Structure 1
């Protein structure tokens, strides 16, 4: 099984990166092949709404690092997508990525649409400084629904709170919980 992790945080060693890597570690312990991408290390331009991706079969016509991610997405059996919550929603890096998914995974708003290929498994991991787990629940639910409309099979949504006062890796039993999520993907 091939599982790809996406860290949509500007902090390569921050809470979100830790969470995604802990989930991937749990999957790796079950025999999965893992790979992780740090969006802040990549040159990904915003969608230009040119619809070049819908003309023919060439996909997105923007030649940037998103092309690498499209290739990784095709070969993945499951994904782990992590973002900090900034200003009540996903990071700018995460939003650019999700907008660019349009070229490969157009939203299916028609109940008659049936995907020929099985949906890819997905785990969402959010980190937030605020200790109130329900504070951004509406946005988290919206994001889960968005990925479901893109035909992803959302298996779990991890929300790690209070990271402003205590780093995720210092939270008791959190490492085990994240690894268990990764194990469940395999």
Structure 2
């Protein structure tokens, strides 16, 4: 099994990076191949809405680091998308990533645009400073539904809370729980 992690945050060693990396660490311990893409190390521009990816066979006309993610998506069986919640919704980096998926769903460009294709597993991992896990439930449910409409198999929606009082890397409960969660992903992949 091949799982990629996408850290939709500019903070290289922040909460989102810690969460995604711990999940992937647990999967890797089960023999799963993993790789990570962090926005702090990438130059990814917003979608320009030109529709070139749907009007020709050239794919996305923006030649930036999103091309690396498009390539990785072709081989990934699962994606862990780490999304910090800012102002009640995903970060700007998460939105840029999501918008740039538009090219992936072009019938002329995308290898994923096939009838009866196996849906990719997507783990949406939200994190927030507020301790109330239900505070942004309307938005997290909406985001889950949006990705399901895009033909992803959204299999988990972990929401890490209360990061204002103590950062993720200082919480032993998270260190253990996230690795265990990742281990189950790795085991699922090897049981197929």
Q: CA deviation at 1:176?
A: 2.2
Q: CA deviation at 1:8?
A: 0.6
Q: Please, which runs of 5 or more residues in structure 1 have no aligned partner?
A: 107-112
| Equivalent-residue separation in structure 1 for 2:68 and 2:26 (angstroms) | 24
Q: CA deviation at 1:73?
A: 0.6
Quote the RMSD (CA, aligned, Å).
Answer: 1.6
User: What secondary structure does 1:81 align onto?
Assistant: strand
Q: CA deviation at 1:161?
A: 0.6
Determine the structure 2 residue equivalent to 1:181. 181
Q: Please, which runs of 5 or more residues in structure 2 have no aligned partner?
A: 107-112, 187-192
What TM-score comes out, normalization by structure 1 length?
Answer: 0.91
| Equivalent-residue separation in structure 2 for 1:156 and 1:183 (angstroms) | 14
Kept in 2: contact 1:40–1:93 (CA 8 A): no
What TM-score comes out, normalization by structure 2 length?
Answer: 0.89
Could you give the per-residue CA deviations for residues 21-80 of structure 1, whole angstroms, max 9, x where no partner exists?
Answer: 010011101110110011122111111111100023222111111111100111111110
Q: 1:61-76 to 2 correspondence within 5 Å?
A: 61-76=61-76
Kept in 2: contact 1:53–1:61 (CA 8 A): yes
Q: CA deviation at 1:150?
A: 1.1
Kept in 2: contact 1:128–1:161 (CA 8 A): yes
Q: 1:131-170 to 2 correspondence within 5 Å?
A: 131-170=131-170
| Equivalent-residue separation in structure 2 for 1:152 and 1:182 (angstroms) | 19
Q: 1:30-179 to 2 correspondence within 5 Å?
A: 30-105=30-105, 115-179=115-179
Aligned residues: 180
